[in-house]
């Protein structure tokens, strides 16, 4: 069990395009466990590997509500096969953009192909919060953030705020 520090806006690491996972082995499963620990600690309902600084195409999600049994899910090398024309709007947040929330419109349902934690090919037809969360996380694998889907005026406001915060309080991984 290990909780990893989160990468926060405006760190350019968040804009990296992540690379496919080549091998689903014990080491990768351990990393997936660390991602889940980090997500539960935050707490959040999803986490992409790049948010802990690993440019790998994998993400974890747990949509279980408080008091329910945990339902951790690991998606490796996910690909959106199809998106609905129907859209839905959710208020989104991001662990890499703390305390900022905005409504985002996305396809209401998506079909996603991925490898599970055993390296087995899977497909899921997702709707509702799972569809939104999968799209939010898959965006991260491509260096895209939910603020890229809101108005430029709002995005510029958020960027300005987080640039100022970073200047006042540099990230701990900076030395000196």
How many residues line the site for Ni ion (CB under 5 A)?
Answer: 1
SS3 category, 125: strand
- Tell whether residue 44 is a contact of ligand GNR (CB under 6 A): yes
- Tell whether residue 76 is a contact of ligand GNR (CB under 6 A): no
How many residues line the site for ligand GNR (CB under 6 A)?
Answer: 17
- Tell whether residue 78 is a contact of ligand GNR (CB under 6 A): no
- Tell whether residue 59 is a contact of Ni ion (CB under 5 A): no
Please name the residue that has the structure tokens 């890229």: 148
Neighbours of 154 (CB within 10 A): 12
Told to judge if 137 belongs to the known catalytic residues of this protein, a careful annotator would answer: yes
CB 11 within 8 A of CB 102: no
The helix (run of H) or strand (run of E) holding residue 121 is: strand 121-127
* Region of 4-12, 17-25, 27-35, 87-95 interacting with Ni ion (CB under 5 A): 87-95
- Tell whether residue 48 is a contact of ligand GNR (CB under 6 A): yes
User: What is 65-80 written as a DSSP string?
Assistant: PTTSPP--EEEEEEEE
SS3 category, 155: helix
- Tell whether residue 132 is a contact of ligand GNR (CB under 6 A): yes
Residue 106 bridge partners (DSSP): 88
Pick from 72, 93, 119, 143 the residue near ligand GNR by CB under 6 A.
Answer: 93
Binding site for ligand GNR (CB under 6 A): 44-48, 51, 90, 92-96, 132-133, 136-137, 140
């Amino acid at each position: 069990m290990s909780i990893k520090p989160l990468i926060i806006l405006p760190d350019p690491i968040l804009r990296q395009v992540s690379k496919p996972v080549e091998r689903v082995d014990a080491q990768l499963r351990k990393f997936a466990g660390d991602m889940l620990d980090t997500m539960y600690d935050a707490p959040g309902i999803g986490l992409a590997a790049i948010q802990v600084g690993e440019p790998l195409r994998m993400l974890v999600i747990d949509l279980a509500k408080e008091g329910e049994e945990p339902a951790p899910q690991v998606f490796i090398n996910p690909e959106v096969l199809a998106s609905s024309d129907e859209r839905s709007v959710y208020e989104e947040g991001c662990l890499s953009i703390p305390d900022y929330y905005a409504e985002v419109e996305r396809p209401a349902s998506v079909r996603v192909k991925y490898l599970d934690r055993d390296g087995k090919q899977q497909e899921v037809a997702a709707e509702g919060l799972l569809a939104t969360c999968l799209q939010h996380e898959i965006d991260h694998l491509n260096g895209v953030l939910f603020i890229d889907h809101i108005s430029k005026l709002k995005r510029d406001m958020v960027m300005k705020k987080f640039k100022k915060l970073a200047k006042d309080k540099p990230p701990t991984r900076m030395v000196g």
